């Protein structure tokens, strides 16, 4: 009886530490991504989440996303609770618009037909009210309103809508009539187009290498210091280079000027790739964030996740988003940060290309896939039974601080999330691959966490990490990556001794090369329009070539470039910047 009581006390303390000690997050954000019931006819099962809008409404956060059957709310941007509404459009909501004005949260879906603007006075309850349908079907050439964005200008006391999702038509805007249930005033204006012949990042395809005409979509308006920032997503959601750009104006309907530091949010390298089509919002401490849609594409090209990155406006009024180490753990702020890198904790990736062994393996889906930082490769166990396991050898004893377990929906027959859809597993650590210590236990509740991020309540010294399976609703136990974060005690890496940048004859491209650094895990190429505005990052792992063709530059814009190396202990000094005309 005494030992049972002690076990209960230890478990209670462990559970409390797991919930109360958390202070960080890691992309993709840890929510119960919902299964897409709309693909049942095609027999394609995947979790749907994209085109995120996070709204700060009366000090709490509300997250809306594509085809999710509802929305989420949170008090801290970490613990998200799913809300199933009491009524919902039959076809579900794609690329929603949402906005908080005074005591009301407004919601509008992408549509080609007559649809109402919903309004929620108690959005945590799930009760939806709505105005009359917004409008008759718009003329076909106006493309929607698809991918809409609602904007209320407090200074002018006027409402606006922006929309567009096309590789033919632009982003449109119109004022809404506040005296007629926010109906269109029908002053439709063509606001911005893509110009891929000038802006390299707007070219379509993987690494901007496809000749298909690119897509402009995902409008979002932000007002800051009396300037209007019209954000848009391009060039296509199903590639690593999906990004957000911005135009600025002194009036909500333009004319708009292209921002010289575009794209403002760009993440083509690393585990989470793609940062386009999201929104910009401010947290309770006054910090800015930019959300986006990373690309997954295992079962379906439009299988995606959600990410959020620290963002801001500099002294020259340039909007930016910081994606440097954008899929490593970051602090959740408790105050306003002053430096764009303040939220990066410094817990490094310890699991990259480490040896992994498993209890069983189906076909050629080997456990080595668990440490390759690629969400489109994965390990599959022979059976989806409790007790299946994976062990990752970190080669030496290291300080473990956090883990992320990323499940894959391989050949599922699940088309709707319900009470049977949840994830349960245990994580153990060991210094000798023989004696194991339980360090995380997700079996005490039935939560669905397909991208479970676990910050450990205290540092764990270990060489081996074991995943022990308990339950997933999927047909197969499939995991893309088990990502382990912490620090080694080895020296920091050196800065690459040589670093060169050459602009191509096609000035949208640049050829970048650097010298190899011993024991580096990877490199960050940073660039921007001034030496103190290196807002862009391209992460390259050290087992790849020490060169990069960057195809995201603006034709007649000068740039500055720098490089840093990182390993399991931390990050090198940044190199001197190179000016490239």
Tens-digit pLDDT profile for residues 330-351? 999 999 999 999 999 999 999 9
Tens-digit pLDDT profile for residues 258-278? 999 999 999 999 999 999 999
Please state which of the ranges 174-188, 387-401, 537-551 shows the lowest mean pLDDT: 174-188
CATH number at residue 139: 2.115.10.20
Looking at mean pLDDT, say which of 33-42, 102-111, 432-441 comes out highest: 432-441
> Which of the two residues, 188 and 366, has the higher pLDDT score?
366
Per-residue confidence band for 13, with pLDDT thresholds at 50, 70 and 90? very low
CATH number at residue 567: 2.60.40.10
pLDDT, residue 183, reads: 85
Tens-digit pLDDT profile for residues 421-452? 999 999 999 999 999 999 999 999 899 999 99
pLDDT, residue 551, reads: 98
Per-residue confidence band for 54, with pLDDT thresholds at 50, 70 and 90? very high
Average pLDDT over residues 88-108: 89
Indicate whether 450 and 522 sit together in one domain.
Answer: no
pLDDT, residue 137, reads: 45
Indicate whether 445 and 505 sit together in one domain.
Answer: no
Indicate whether 292 and 352 sit together in one domain.
Answer: no
Helices and strands in the chain, H and E counts: 1, 40
Q: Give the whole-angstrom CA distance, residue 312 versus residue 305.
A: 23
Indicate whether 200 and 261 sit together in one domain.
Answer: yes
Average pLDDT over residues 135-164: 83
Q: Give the whole-angstrom CA distance, residue 439 versus residue 426.
A: 8
**Cα dist from 493 to 293, 496, 521, 561, whole Å:** 32, 9, 9, 19
Q: Give the whole-angstrom CA distance, residue 381 versus residue 468.
A: 12
Per-residue confidence band for 184, with pLDDT thresholds at 50, 70 and 90? confident
Count: domains in the chain: 3
Q: In this structure, what token pair is assigned to residue 303?
A: 């299988």
pLDDT, residue 384, reads: 97
pLDDT, residue 18, reads: 40
> Which three-class secondary structure string do you get for 313-373?
ECCCCCEEECCCCCCCCEECCCCCCCCCCCCECCCEECCCCCEEEECCCCCCCCHHHHHCC
Tens-digit pLDDT profile for residues 223-255? 999 999 999 999 999 999 999 999 999 999 999
Task: Residue 312: give the domain boundaries.
Answer: 48-327
Indicate whether 362 and 459 sit together in one domain.
Answer: yes
Tens-digit pLDDT profile for residues 375-391? 999 999 999 999 999 99
pLDDT, residue 3, reads: 38
State what percent of residues in the chain have pLDDT above 90.
Answer: 85
Q: Give the whole-angstrom CA distance, residue 323 versus residue 327.
A: 8
Indicate whether 481 and 510 sit together in one domain.
Answer: no
Q: Give the torsion sign (CA, 16, 444, 352, 325).
A: negative
Per-residue confidence band for 2, with pLDDT thresholds at 50, 70 and 90? very low
Calculate Rg over the CA atoms of the chain: 24
Q: Please check whether residue 275 lies inside any domain of the structure.
A: yes
Indicate whether 102 and 151 sit together in one domain.
Answer: yes
The domain boundary, picked from 462, 487, 512, lies at 487
Q: Give the torsion sign (CA, 314, 319, 320, 321).
A: positive
pTM: 0.94
Q: Give the whole-angstrom CA distance, residue 114 versus residue 120.
A: 20
Indicate whether 394 and 479 sit together in one domain.
Answer: yes
Q: What angle do CA 350, 354, 357 make, to 5 degrees?
A: 125
Tens-digit pLDDT profile for residues 535-559? 999 999 999 999 999 999 999 999 9
Indicate whether 506 and 464 sit together in one domain.
Answer: no
pLDDT, residue 10, reads: 36
* Mean pLDDT, all residues of the chain: 93
Q: Please check whether residue 336 lies inside any domain of the structure.
A: no
Indicate whether 165 and 100 sit together in one domain.
Answer: yes
pLDDT, residue 16, reads: 38
């Amino acid at each position: 009886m005494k030992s049972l009581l002690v076990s209960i006390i230890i478990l209670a303390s462990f559970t409390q530490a797991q919930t109360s000690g958390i202070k960080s997050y890691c992309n993709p954000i840890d929510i119960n991504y919902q299964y897409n019931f709309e693909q049942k006819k095609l027999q394609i099962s995947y979790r749907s989440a994209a085109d995120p809008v996070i709204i700060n409404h009366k000090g709490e956060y509300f997250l809306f996303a594509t085809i999710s059957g509802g929305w989420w709310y949170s008090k801290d941007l970490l613990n998200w609770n799913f809300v199933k509404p009491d009524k919902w459009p039959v076809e579900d909501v794609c690329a929603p618009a949402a906005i908080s004005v005074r005591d009301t949260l407004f919601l509008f879906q992408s549509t080609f037909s007559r649809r109402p603007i919903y309004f929620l006075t108690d959005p945590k309850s799930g009760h939806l009210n709505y105005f009359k349908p917004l409008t008759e079907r718009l003329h076909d050439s106006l493309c929607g309103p698809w991918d809409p964005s609602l904007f209320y200008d407090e200074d002018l006391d006027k409402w606006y809508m922006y929309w567009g999702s096309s590789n033919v038509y632009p982003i449109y805007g119109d004022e809404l009539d506040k005296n007629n249930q926010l109906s269109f005033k029908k002053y439709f204006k063509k606001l911005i187009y893509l110009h891929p012949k000038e802006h390299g990042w707007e070219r379509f395809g993987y690494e901007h290498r496809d000749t298909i005409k690119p897509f402009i979509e995902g409008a979002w308006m932000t007002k800051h210091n009396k300037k209007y920032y019209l954000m848009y997503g391009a060039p296509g959601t199903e590639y690593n280079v999906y990004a957000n750009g911005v135009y600025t104006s002194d009036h909500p309907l333009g004319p708009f000027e292209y921002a010289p530091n575009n794209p403002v949010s760009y993440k083509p390298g690393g585990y989470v790739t793609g940062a386009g089509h999201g929104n910009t919002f401010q947290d309770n401490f006054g910090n800015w964030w930019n959300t986006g849609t990373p690309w997954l594409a295992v079962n379906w090209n439009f299988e995606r996740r959600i990410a959020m990155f620290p963002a801001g406006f500099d002294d020259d009024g340039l909007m930016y988003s910081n994606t440097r180490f954008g899929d490593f753990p970051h602090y959740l702020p408790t105050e306003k940060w002053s430096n764009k890198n303040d939220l990066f904790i410094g817990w490094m990736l310890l699991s990259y290309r480490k040896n992994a062994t498993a209890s069983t393996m189906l076909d050629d889906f080997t456990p080595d896939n668990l440490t390759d930082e690629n969400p489109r490769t994965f390990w599959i166990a022979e059976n989806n039974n409790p007790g299946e396991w994976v062990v990752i050898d970190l080669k030496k004893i290291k300080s473990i601080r956090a883990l992320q377990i990323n499940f894959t929906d391989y050949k599922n027959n699940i088309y709707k999330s319900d009470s049977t859809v949840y994830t349960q597993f245990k994580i153990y650590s060991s210094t000798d691959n023989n004696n194991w210590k339980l360090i995380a236990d997700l079996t005490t509740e039935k939560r669905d966490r397909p991208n479970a991020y676990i910050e450990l309540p205290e540092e764990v010294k270990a060489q081996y990490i074991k995943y022990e399976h308990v339950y997933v609703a999927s047909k197969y136990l499939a995991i893309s990556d088990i990502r382990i974060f912490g620090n080694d005690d080895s020296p920091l890496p050196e800065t690459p001794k040589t670093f060169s940048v050459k602009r191509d004859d096609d000035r949208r491209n640049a050829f970048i090369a650097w010298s190899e650094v011993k024991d580096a895990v990877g490199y960050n190429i940073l660039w921007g329009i001034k030496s103190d505005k290196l807002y862009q990052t391209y992460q390259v792992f050290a087992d790849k070539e020490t060169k990069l063709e960057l195809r995201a530059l603006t034709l007649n814009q000068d740039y500055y470039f720098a490089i840093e190396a990182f390993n399991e202990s931390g990050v090198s000094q940044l190199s001197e910047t190179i000016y490239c005309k």
